[in-house]
Amino acid sequence: MAGPERHNLILPNPRYRVSANTEMGWKNSNLRTEMTRLLRRAGVSGWPRLFHASKLQAGRASRQTELRREFPLHVVCSWLGNSPRIAQQSYLLVTEDDFAKAAGVAKVMVER
């Protein structure tokens, strides 16, 4: 579905569509709130992170962690488009290398 008809599904009230569709793009159109409302109406319970794909997030998290080892956090966050607070809450990981380094042992490579 293309064109304005497509937006009827997300922002059903025409008044909201007009105010949200600005020259600079869509503004103040909270898709999470609308999706949660639609799920509730359908009798389906939602999940905490509606718009996150776990594989995508895992890839982003591992890459942010790798970059953080070499570059300052504010630089990595600028590149990836998030804030240091979000990076620390959601993306930076403790890896097996971290545990090995803390224990003073070399990481054992396992072939699969």
In this structure, is residue 37 part of a structural domain? yes
Q: How confident is the model at residue 96 (pLDDT cuts 50, 70, 90)?
A: confident
Split into its structural domains, the chain has a count of 2
Average pLDDT of the chain to the nearest whole number: 77
Please state the pTM of the whole predicted model.
0.45
Is 37 in the same domain as 70? no
Q: Which helix (H) or strand (E) holds 22?
A: strand 21-22
The percentage of the chain sitting over the pLDDT mark of 70, rounded to a whole number, equals 64
Is 62 in the same domain as 96? yes
91 touches 64 (CB < 8 A): yes
Angstrom distances, CA of residue 53 to CA of 42, 46, 49, 57 = 22, 14, 9, 6
Mean pLDDT of 56-84: 88
Is 69 in the same domain as 99? yes
In this structure, is residue 112 part of a structural domain? no
